[in-house]
Amino acid sequence: MGLAYSRINGGVSLRVGDFRLELRFLSPRIVRVLYAPLNLTGRKSLAVIHESVIEPTVERSGEVLRLSGGELTVEVNPDYSLTFINSGGVFAREVSREVGDRRPVE
């Protein structure tokens, strides 16, 4: 079955325990990652200066959910950790993410 997700404008949203993991593509090579408690809604990020979004392609590859904006691909692994891939290959990867983990995405 894989990871359960819902489509949102510019990406996907996944429920991770009492948290929400959102991936929203702002351009073909920029993705905004939000990992926040479910009850945190409606707040604007002061760090986001790009308001428009593009619609990424979303596909499943086994248990992995893969989103691609063109120049950047993000894989959501079964443990909800993220892998970031560009034309040079994997350039960033989380070790793992536990449900309810409060660590920020690095």
pLDDT in tens, 23-47: 999 999 999 998 888 887 666 666 6
Q: In the chain, what are the domain boundaries? A: 6-38+51-93
Q: What is the 3-state secondary structure (H, E, C) of 7-26?
A: EECCEEEEEECCEEEEEEEE
87, pLDDT greater than 70: yes
Give tens-digit pLDDT for 48-80: 666 678 999 999 989 999 999 999 999 999 999
> What does CATH list as the number for 6-38+51-93?
2.60.40.1760
What is this structure's pTM?
Answer: 0.82
Per the listing, tokens 């949102």 go with 8
Q: What proportion of the chain, given as a percentage, has pLDDT over 90?
A: 57
pLDDT for position 102:
58
